[in-house]
Structure 1
Amino acid sequence: MKIVADENLAFTEYFFADFGEIQQAAGRSLTHADVQDAEALLVRSVTQVNEPLIQDTKLKFVGSATIGTDHLDIPVLEKHNIAWSNAAGCNAQAVAEYVITALLYLQPNLIEKNEQFTLGIIGLGNVGSRLAYMAKLLGWNVIGHDPFLNREQIQQVELAELLKTADAISTHVPLTKTGNHPTFHLINADALAQMKPEAILINSARGPVVEEAALIADIQQNKRQVVLDVFEHEPEISEQLLNLIGLVTPHIAGYSLEGKARGTQMIYDAFCKTFNFTADKQFETQLPVCEQYFQNQDLKSVLKQHLAHIYDIARDDANLRACLKDGKVDQKAFDYLRKTYPLRREWAAHGGPKA
């Protein structure tokens, strides 16, 4: 069996080497010729899996080690009788920890704010619900909005109420352009105008959820603190935008070692089910032991002392800004940052909590 895999997938050899030849490739530039004689394709969100890519191939399975599916043309896959799988929730814990790290980096005093600080979460799926749980461990007040899900443990409000009330807003929605609740440009000029000028905005979901032009205008007017891990025109990111954003990272919010390994594990399990193989491998056996910061200390004390050691988010910001060339981020440099990213560990690996 020939398996084509994105070169940035974690533990590909461990999970798939027993099944045949693995051909690794750059996910953003995969072509029909690359996959024509493959039976399985393993991708991330940078690969558009569509008719031109998969028509007239031997593909029987496509697995995406990511939580989203907007890069998969599911009707086309089903038309060609190609089984598919994604990895919903694989990096939810990593993204939740990213958001909290970003907030504490911008405003370290939030660690002591308790219920005086209100975090608004848009989208209460795997990531949003985990973020709510972790935020409550810090004593923060949490409100959420999701027209599709009801989470009894989270106070849910209308979107307008969340925008008006929250001291920080974090988006955790898929990118959709149709239906009753599209998320494309969900955060637009109108939404930004409803927010407090001092409210922090964080987008680690999908770039086009936030309308870039409206965001630029809002920051110029209100000096709003903003965190972006994703960008509307990614990987093309302008110098103007970078100069206005308080914290920027190269689409790595979910890039924990556990998250990446869990994503590959999930598509491995689906692959085995598709081809009737026995799934007998576990990613945990491949993870090294790391320093135990949380033993015998409360969460806030550890974060005050060791958060920069657990995840140095300032380094990611500096590395992305260093990719500027001729007024915009260089695409090859952006992809190289992601390819060579030193995967951080989740708090639980250090003895800490997880949702």
Structure 2
Amino acid sequence: MTSTSRQVWLPAQFTSYAGLPEGLRYARWDGGSVFPSDPAEVEFYVPPLVQDLDTISRPLDRMTSLTVVQALSSGVDGLCAELRRLPGNVTLCNAKGVHARSTAELALALILASLRGIPEFTHAQDLGLWKPEVFPSLYGRSVLIVGYGALGSALEDLLVPFGCAVTRVARTDRLSPRGPVHAMSHLRGLITGADVVVLATELTPATHHLINADLLARLQDGALLVNMARGAVVDTAALLEEVRGGRIRAALDVTDPEPLPAGHPLWETPGVLITPHVGAFTPAMWPRLEQLIRRQLERFARDEELDNVVAC
């Protein structure tokens, strides 16, 4: 490698430089320590594996040679906003598809736990109470998936044994291998018939507070809303109004605000199950991310078009 080779920053978890393309210089950064090299020389930046956008963004103003950011998440709304304020043209790529199966698994777990009353039984266990109750089953229920991409498709795979009637919604009408996908413009009519609504869409100006007071009011009594997308896809104040009275339930892996602060009413509202944005995080996650990074670096070294490019 020569001193003129292009600089790449990788996350601290990256296991080995072995087998990476030649002609590039590599350094690891954990997001907390001093910068491993001059940020001004970095052309390809893979941010550290953290959820804190401030940490990810800390070196961006100094990365004057930056051409590519390879995010480790599927959702990149916050990072998009950071890159838009930078001069020059920076290509942003996400990790679309990498986290789909693990996130779908948690979505299914949240659906089953919420429908079968696991939070109520856990609370009774904490109190030492034997308190039998009857809760609904997932079998044969109608499930509306809003945002039918890799995550939505992976979730439908997991729902097959339960005999659910699945309705799919995405930006535009199309046909998937499992059946029709309806445009988002049909959501208002489709949401009324759903027992379970799963949000798996990206956060954009068009989907900010997509699930508002009007749509929440159209949910049938006893419906379950599951948010695996981004917290701001749901109007939190409107959601609280609906769940407080017990008319609907909610299971949230993401919230708005996030992290959810202590004392926020969502913590104490019956019928709300919360996990702290952990859908993607399993031991199998990092090997899949490393495979993606290696593929992207090979393309970058050959000046080929990258995968998973996001329009900011």
- Does the TM-score normalized on the shorter chain lie above 0.5? yes
Following superposition, the deviation at residue 35 of structure 1 comes to 3.5
1:189 aligns with 2:213: yes
Following superposition, the deviation at residue 235 of structure 1 comes to 1.8
Greater shift, 249-258 or 41-50, is seen at 41-50
Following superposition, the deviation at residue 30 of structure 1 comes to 10
1:66 aligns with 2:70: no
Following superposition, the deviation at residue 2 of structure 1 comes to 5.1
AA aligned opposite 1:91: H
Structure 1 distance, partners of 2:254, 2:34, is 21
1:24 aligns with 2:30: yes
1:139 aligns with 2:145: no
State the Cα deviation string for residues 295-331 of structure 1 (Å, max 9, x = none): xxxxxxxxxxxxxxxxxxxxxxxxxxxxxxxxxxxxx
Selected match of 1:173 from 201, 206, 220? 201
1:266 aligns with 2:305: no
State the Cα deviation string for residues 83-105 of structure 1 (Å, max 9, x = none): 44221111111111111111111
How many residues end up aligned between the 2 structures? 266
What SS does the aligned partner of 2:255 have? Answer: coil
Tell whether the 8 Å contact from 2:10 to 2:26 is kept in structure 1 after alignment.
no
Partner of 2:309: none
Tell whether the 8 Å contact from 1:164 to 1:194 is kept in structure 2 after alignment.
yes
Partner of 2:301: 275
Selected match of 2:249 from 225, 231, 236? 225
Following superposition, the deviation at residue 50 of structure 1 comes to 7.1
When Rg is computed on C-alpha atoms for both structures, the one with the higher figure is 2
Partner of 1:99: 107
Selected match of 1:35 from 20, 26, 39? 39
Write out aligned runs for 1:1-355 (5 A): 3-6=8-11, 11-14=13-16, 19-26=25-32, 35-43=39-47, 46-47=52-53, 53-54=60-61, 57-73=64-80, 76=84, 80-108=88-116, 113-115=138-140, 117-148=141-172, 150-152=174-176, 153-156=178-181, 158-177=186-205, 182-239=206-263, 240-244=265-269, 246-276=272-302
What SS does the aligned partner of 2:30 have? Answer: strand
Structure 2 distance, partners of 1:202, 1:135, is 14
Greater shift, 13-22 or 233-242, is seen at 13-22
Query: What RMSD over aligned residues (CA atoms) do the two structures have, in Å?
Result: 3.3
Structure 2 distance, partners of 1:15, 1:166, is 49
Following superposition, the deviation at residue 129 of structure 1 comes to 1.5
AA aligned opposite 2:79: L
- Structure with higher helix content: 1
Relative to structure 1, the CA distance from residue 146 to residue 269 in structure 2 (aligned partners, 3 Å threshold; closer, same or farther) is same
Relative to structure 1, the CA distance from residue 42 to residue 92 in structure 2 (aligned partners, 3 Å threshold; closer, same or farther) is same
AA aligned opposite 2:39: V
Greater shift, 240-249 or 86-95, is seen at 240-249
State the Cα deviation string for residues 16-60 of structure 1 (Å, max 9, x = none): 79653312215xx999x9834434321266436779824553334
What SS does the aligned partner of 2:28 have? Answer: strand
What SS does the aligned partner of 1:208 have? Answer: helix
Structure 2 distance, partners of 1:95, 1:270, is 23
Relative to structure 1, the CA distance from residue 110 to residue 3 in structure 2 (aligned partners, 3 Å threshold; closer, same or farther) is farther
AA aligned opposite 1:93: R
Following superposition, the deviation at residue 81 of structure 1 comes to 4.4
Structure 2 distance, partners of 1:112, 1:195, is 18
Structure 1 distance, partners of 2:135, 2:161, is 13
Following superposition, the deviation at residue 111 of structure 1 comes to 9.3
What's the TM-score, normalizing by structure 2?
A: 0.73
Greater shift, 48-57 or 264-273, is seen at 48-57
AA aligned opposite 1:159: L
Structure 1: unaligned runs, 5 residues or longer: 278-355
